[in-house]
């Protein structure tokens, strides 16, 4: 009876996926299914989309994201005017969508509770994240005041794990 149950074909539970697999194959498939729902990495965007539609959403629909253009950019530069740093409220810059070595990266920069945070999210798995690292350098009046190297967050993890943050006063 157990052998019969192992061979029963089951559909993937993600609504837009058409895969039908054996039970043991289905569990593995659902973790990497292109149709699984993931949160948009736009800092203020609350939408969840199938992974297969996320890039189109980010570059065409999401008001919190912008594509930086050229393929294989190794660096995203975010120039911030002093006026943008003034005030005490929370705010975020547009999430930059970068394409590098066939992968898609989302660079997020925001201020919450008077702390600035930068984060890089990879449209990929935790194992793929281990193949890359990110670094950030913050300048004040043309002089580096903060530098950090940090790991990337895979798209399936919705909360930042380890990314550089610094107090607003450090940029004044």
Retrieve residue 33's tokens.
């299914």
What is the predicted pLDDT for the residue at 113?
A: 83
Nearest CA-CA partner of 95 in 123, 68, 64, 124 = 64
Beta-strand pair 91-92/95-100: unpaired
* The predicted structure's pLDDT at residue 79: 62
Q: What pLDDT is attached to residue 115? A: 83
- C-alpha 60 chain-centroid distance: 16
Phi first, then psi, for residue 80 (nearest 5°) are: -115, 125
For 52, the 3-state DSSP assignment is helix
Residue 20 has a pLDDT of 94
Per-10-residue mean pLDDT of the chain, 172 residues long, equals 77 94 90 92 91 92 80 61 69 84 87 84 91 83 83 87 74 63
Residue 34 contacts residue 54 (beta carbons within 8 Å): no
Q: Which pLDDT score, from 0 to 100, does residue 141 have?
A: 78
């Amino acid at each position: 009876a157990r052998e019969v149950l192992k061979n029963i074909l089951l559909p993937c539970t993600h609504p837009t996926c058409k895969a039908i697999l054996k039970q043991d194959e289905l569990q593995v498939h659902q973790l990497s299914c292109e149709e699984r729902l993931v949160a948009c990495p736009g800092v203020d965007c609350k939408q969840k989309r199938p992974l297969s539609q996320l890039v189109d959403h980010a570059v065409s629909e999401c008001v919190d994201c912008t594509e930086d253009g050229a393929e294989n950019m190794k660096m995203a530069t975010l120039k911030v005017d002093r006026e943008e740093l003034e005030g005490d409220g929370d705010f975020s810059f547009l999430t930059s969508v970068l394409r590098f070595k066939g992968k898609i990266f989302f660079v997020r920069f925001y201020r919450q509770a008077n702390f600035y945070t930068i984060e890089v999210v990879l449209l990929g798995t935790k194992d793929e994240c281990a193949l890359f690292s990110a670094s950030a350098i913050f300048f004040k009046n043309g002089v580096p005041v903060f530098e950090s190297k940090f790991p990337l967050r895979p798209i399936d993890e919705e909360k930042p794990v380890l990314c550089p943050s610094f107090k607003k006063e450090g940029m004044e």
